[in-house]
Homo-oligomer: A and B are copies of this chain.
Amino acid sequence: MKPSIPKGTRDFSPVEMAKRNYIFDTIRSVYALYGFQQIETPAMENLSTLMGKYGEEGDKLLFKILNSGDFLRGVSDDDIHQKSTNQLAAQLCEKGLRYDLTVPFARYVVQHREELTLPFRRYQIQPVWRADRPQKGRYREFYQCDADVVGSDSLLNEVELMQIVTEVFRRFGIRVCIKINNRKILTGIAEMLGAADKIVDITVAIDKLDKIGLDNVNAELKEDGLTDEQIAKLQPIIQLSGTNNEKMATMREVLKDSAIGLKGVDEVEYVLNTYGKTNQPTDACSLELDLTLARGLNYYTGCIFEVKALDVQIGSITGGGRYDNLTGIFGMPGISGVGISFGADRIFDVLNQLDLYPASVVSATRLFFVNFGEAEEAYCLPIIAAARQAGIPCEIYPESVKMKKQMQYANAKQIPFVVLVGETEMQQGKLTLKNMETGEQSLVSPEELLEKVF
């Protein structure tokens, strides 16, 4: 019987890993250009750190680690029979696997507050675990790839995060639209209508404008319990269109009586204008004010953003926003922050669908030496060493088996150049180099070899 892995988890093959490393290395380099520093936190956190941070549903989705040794010590029969599954689990388990990178980061900031110089720009690329029901595209172990700036209210941080997003997707060659909104604008709209509880219903209904048309949107809003007067007031927002500047002008008019709403518009305007000083909107990347964007309302407090790929039908591939009081849950109030999270799994799929991986990503070894026997091997070894010294990834087949088998190996690894050395080559102090793509063969000296395959 073949061994297997737990459902919802994955092995990553060499090709998948090469592609994932390309994604993570690209993001890492851009983060570094902006002065973000990497941290790592342990896979296991105390359950007291994790519990209660993701809602009741989240608590159930935490993977809990059975205490070592006699885990039943102190657990009575009554505990077993009368306590809820969750309560009993808390008795049997002190630790759990991290569910995201945000709560461990908040814990990190509080625990290490004395060592940190604020603003702290950190990034973190690590797996997280959720006991979710696995389904297509949803895994029980997956990587998150987060960058946050904490300890600064400046909107320049938002701008730099937008620049990072722009640069990362430029490097990938993925055309994107960055959607931006501001939680304060949504609060302003609710305030203006006197309907704070309806803001989610409103954004959901507005979002359907393209699909179902204005009349149906208005009908839906009525069903949601909005009065005719409220719906009338909403018309300029539902039908909001034009450039970002035109949209902002409309919003200023609509929200003229809401201080918080106007502040939201101010913030978006600053971010758009400042971003515009260094980044012109192009076909490959534009920044668009989108009032229907309403992600994680309970968490975010200022600007929010999401990135949509233009050429692939897929959910948002990056998102983030500003939040207040990240560390309040651990007794350190007043730390505001703003962050983004790249969706590595979706980016992986988009790059695959658009076939955007550079060729060098998939075929790592450039040069393969066929092994024809002891003498030939001895002849090749110093040449191989020199090639590696020059930075060229090389392999020699470790045994002098049939050439067909060796070539199959080179093909399976998609190695672009193959070296053949027999009697003739050894007598002349040369090598035969075969370009596997063109089939072309040439007799070269060891020095010429390095030039040809570099």
Given contacts A71-B85, A85-B70, contact A35 B364 (CB under 8 A): yes
Q: Which of B68, B111, B385 contacts A278 (CB 8 A)?
A: B385
Q: Which of B12, B34, B66, B92 contacts A395 (CB 8 A)?
A: B34
| Chain B residue at minimum C-beta to C-beta distance from A139 | B42
Chain B residues lying within 8 Å of A40, measured Cβ to Cβ, are 11-12, 17
A18 touches B1 (CB 8 A): no
Return A177 CB to nearest CB of chain B, in Å: 21
Q: Does A351 contact B (CB under 8 A)?
A: no
Given contacts A3-B110, A156-B396, A398-B156, contact A11 B39 (CB under 8 A): yes
Main secondary structure of the interface of A (DSSP, over half): mixed
A39 touches B13 (CB 8 A): yes
Given contacts A40-B17, A94-B6, A393-B34, contact A398 B119 (CB under 8 A): yes
Return A234 CB to nearest CB of chain B, in Å: 35
A393 touches B9 (CB 8 A): no
Report the bound CA distance from A384 to B46 in whole Å: 41
Chain B residues lying within 8 Å of A196, measured Cβ to Cβ, are none
Given contacts A46-B4, A64-B66, A154-B399, contact A388 B33 (CB under 8 A): yes
Determine the interface band of chain A, counting residues with CB < 8 A from chain B.
Answer: 35 or more
Report the bound CA distance from A365 to B117 in whole Å: 15
A9 touches B388 (CB 8 A): no
Return A92 CB to nearest CB of chain B, in Å: 6
Return A411 CB to nearest CB of chain B, in Å: 9
Q: Which of B18, B85, B277 contacts A38 (CB 8 A)?
A: B18
Report the bound CA distance from A5 to B44 in whole Å: 8
Given contacts A46-B5, A394-B33, A394-B35, contact A65 B68 (CB under 8 A): no
Report the bound CA distance from A398 to B68 in whole Å: 47
A131 touches B68 (CB 8 A): yes
A10 touches B42 (CB 8 A): yes
Chain B residues lying within 8 Å of A33, measured Cβ to Cβ, are 388, 391-394
B398 touches A111 (CB 8 A): no
Chain B residues lying within 8 Å of A334, measured Cβ to Cβ, are none
Chain B residues lying within 8 Å of A385, measured Cβ to Cβ, are 163, 278-279
Q: Does A107 contact B (CB under 8 A)?
A: yes
Chain B residues lying within 8 Å of A399, measured Cβ to Cβ, are 152-154, 156
A157 touches B398 (CB 8 A): yes
Chain B residues lying within 8 Å of A240, measured Cβ to Cβ, are none
Given contacts A85-B69, A119-B398, A157-B398, contact A107 B37 (CB under 8 A): no
Return A314 CB to nearest CB of chain B, in Å: 23
Chain B residues lying within 8 Å of A140, measured Cβ to Cβ, are 44
Q: Which of B3, B38, B42, B396 contacts A21 (CB 8 A)?
A: B38
A104-136 to B contact mask, C-beta < 8 Å, 1/0: 000110111001010101100001010100000
| Chain B residue at minimum C-beta to C-beta distance from A95 | B6
Chain B residues lying within 8 Å of A32, measured Cβ to Cβ, are 364, 393
A426-448 to B contact mask, C-beta < 8 Å, 1/0: 00000000000000000000000
Chain B residues lying within 8 Å of A17, measured Cβ to Cβ, are 37-40
A129 touches B43 (CB 8 A): yes
A413-434 to B contact mask, C-beta < 8 Å, 1/0: 1000000000000000000000
Q: Does A144 contact B (CB under 8 A)?
A: no
The segment from A200-208, A217-225, A295-303, A375-383 found at the interface with B is A375-383
Report the bound CA distance from A111 to B1 in whole Å: 10
Return A300 CB to nearest CB of chain B, in Å: 19
Q: Does A80 contact B (CB under 8 A)?
A: yes
12 inter-chain pairs at a CB distance below 8 angstroms, sorted by A residue, are A2-B331, A5-B111, A17-B38, A34-B388, A35-B364, A35-B393, A37-B413, A43-B43, A44-B140, A71-B89, A274-B381, A277-B381
What 10 pairs between A and B have smallest CB-CB spacing?
A: A14-B37, A154-B398, A9-B42, A35-B395, A117-B412, A278-B385, A68-B131, A35-B365, A12-B40, A156-B398
